[in-house]
Chains A and B, each alone.
Chain A
Amino acid sequence: MNAIQTSQLTRSFGNLKAVDRLTLEIPRGTVFGFLGPNGSGKTTTIRLLLGLLDADQGSAQVLGFDTKGQPDEVRARCGALLEHHGLYERLSAAENLDYYGRIWHMSKADREKRIRELLEPVDLYDRRAEPIGRWSRGMKQKLAVARTLMHRPELIFLDEPTAGLDPVASSALREDLSTLVVQEGVTIFLTTHNLAEAEKLCNQVGVINRGQLLAVGSPSDLRSKTSAPRLYVTGHGITSQIVNDVKGNNLVKRVQHQNGKLIMDLEELNRSHEIVTHLVSAGVQIDEVRKEKADLEDVFLQLVEEEKRGEE
């Protein structure tokens, strides 16, 4: 059974279609990354899936329950870290978790055990009695992730969990998240605009822009489906004449010339030697040649660009 299944899910605010005919299937046990720029409809999608908002059209089932008809059943089985961490800063870390444990009717012994289980791996157990008001944002986010897992949900929603964190804190949170994901074995629906994060954590990703789902699949699938292999050449003597010559070569789909570096999207990566030979014969003194597939960021930008062109 799918953890999440939506069909033509649509929600508007006035004239703005925040989510536009979204159709998704996310199997259980998946770490699903929902990628999109700010205002693309990610948060609204989470709110719809949690039954916090009603859809104008279409339907959604979460863990087998209809989000419109059985929103309480959905929320009883899910955990959510939304846009703000939502922690009570006047309370201690343990009190915050304990409150959520009580909400889910966990016994005292189970709550205490669970607080230890969740806080020890993220190095917060020794500080559990401290009021969290003066904690760093990174520590609060770790605690908020722990809170979403407190009642052992089958599915958790994480809305931009590393937003606003510095790179060190983001990386630490990602590590902790990976550890917890393996430990807990839950399905995760994660929204982000950090593509490295999605690449690292997710085994399925969907790209959304202006409420519309542009693509869905594993990160490697998306890379191979939507982006060309890429060749980077750094050297001296790369003139505009040579750049134009390369543009005319039918092995090359697209060329960028930046700071003495040529970045070429190729039709076939295994024929890159022909391009290099051509450049050498044209007089380019090559310092470095690097071949790689485009990363998720390139895929994302390409999809968003294509969507924009399609609209024009």
Chain B
Amino acid sequence: MIADILTVAGKELREIFTFGSEGRGRGKFSLLILIGVFGVFFPLQSGREWVTSSLSIMVWGWMPFLWVSGIVADLFAGERERHTLEALLATRLSDQSILFGKLLAALTYGFSLTWLVLLSSIVTINIVHGNDGLLFYPLETTIGALVFSILVSGLSGSIGVLVSLRAGSVRQAQQAMSAGMLVLFLPFMLIQFIPKAWLEAGANLLQNVQPAQIAIGLAVFLLAIEVILIAIAKRLFQRSKLILD
């Protein structure tokens, strides 16, 4: 099964990163834009704070969500829309191999893109501000970025699978994913409407908790959600159901 998962993931990644005429894969072009914006422009704007501020973990945390949500719809709804899914279902591959192969491709894409852009930004910062030695994130920020880029890629991937399985087309799936992102960011937008007293109480509570504890709690929470979403996706991703869509 592992070999099958890797086969499916390998083919998906090849398609994602391949480009040429007819808009084959948007991988390399979007990669250049992302490196330009997040690997050069923003680090130049922020200066040394790009690596010293602990807020930077937020950037590397949500970024994979954005990238994975862009491609996961294509991996599932796109395969159905282009009529390639039925041929794949008629092979010896198990339902789980196909599902996890595609999820692995989405996760690898989100994770590797995040780290490529992150490392580009470090190069930029060191070229401009690295006179006194190598500038890099503190260890805890690096570990946080590593863990959250994997977890958030997985979260985006598993939400994308569920949305794509229900969507009639890639466009529909992408629209639903965008709407889902709004819902995800809704709590941050609603924060201004929360009574001040509540916010202060919350802040006091957090003061007694170590940042590492918050990060671990959040990571466990994300992992639990992902396990639930993947279990649902596993139930839905069945040949006998997919073949009739």
Contacts and interface: CB of A to CB of B under 8 A. Distances in A.
Interface of A: 47, 50-54, 72, 75-76, 78, 80-91, 95, 99-100, 102-105, 131, 133-134, 147, 157
A103 B91 contact: yes
Interface in B78-120: 82-94
Interface in B201-228: none
Contacts of B131: none
Contacts of B94: 72
Given A52-B90, A88-B15, A90-B24, A103 B7 contact: yes
A87 B90 CA distance: 13
Contact of B4 (A51, A81, A103): A103
8 contacts: A53-B240, A84-B83, A88-B11, A90-B18, A100-B91, A102-B10, A133-B22, A147-B87
Contacts of A134: 22
B179 to A, nearest CB: 28
Contacts of B86: 52, 82-84, 86
B243 interface: yes
Contacts of A51: 239
Contact of B90 (A80, A99, A104): A80
Nearest to B242: A52
B25 interface: yes
A52 B240 contact: yes
B14 interface: yes
Contacts of B191: none
Q: From A72, A76, A87, A99, name the one whose CB has the most chain B CB atoms within 10 angstroms.
A: A99
B243 A47 contact: yes
Given A89-B82, A133-B22, A80 B87 contact: yes
Nearest to A13: B244
Given A52-B89, A103-B4, A103-B92, A91 B240 contact: no
A84 B15 contact: no
B3 interface: yes
Given A47-B243, A52-B243, A91-B15, A82 B90 contact: yes
Given A47-B243, A102-B7, A131 B22 contact: yes
Contacts of A82: 86-87, 90
Interface string B1-42: 001100100110011001010101100000000000000000
A50 B14 contact: no
B14 A95 contact: yes
A99 B7 contact: yes
A104 B83 contact: no
A119 to B, nearest CB: 18
A157 B86 CA distance: 13
A99 B87 CA distance: 12
Nearest to A100: B91
Q: From B7, B22, B88, B91, name the one whose CB has the most chain A CB atoms within 10 angstroms.
A: B91
B15 A52 contact: no
B24 A105 contact: no
